[in-house]
Amino acid sequence: MCTSNVQHDCATSGCNTTRQVLECQERQDTTKSKDVVDHIPANAYVLNIHSLHNYVWIAAVIPPTIC
């Protein structure tokens, strides 16, 4: 049918970076750190559509209130 990807919308939800953790490489901690985001529970998502030629199929499953 079609490929789509739904991601949490941090910008709308107001999610923040809360802490840093060490990155792992081959199961070993490195000296490089990365930010960790604590997501705020919200019903806000971004729909990434892989192919717009499948719009009919995608529109059939999306509630009309968000189209």
Indicate the pTM of the whole model: 0.49
Nearest to 2 by CA among 46, 67, 40, 56: 56
Residue 5 CA to its chain's centroid (Å):
8
35-65 residue pLDDT tens: 998 888 988 888 876 656 677 777 788 777 7
Looking up tokens 């009309």 gives 64
Whole domain around residue 21: which residue ranges? 4-66
Q: How far apart are CA 40 and CA 34, in angstroms?
A: 19
| Number of domains comprising the chain | 1
* pLDDT over 90 percentage in the chain: 19
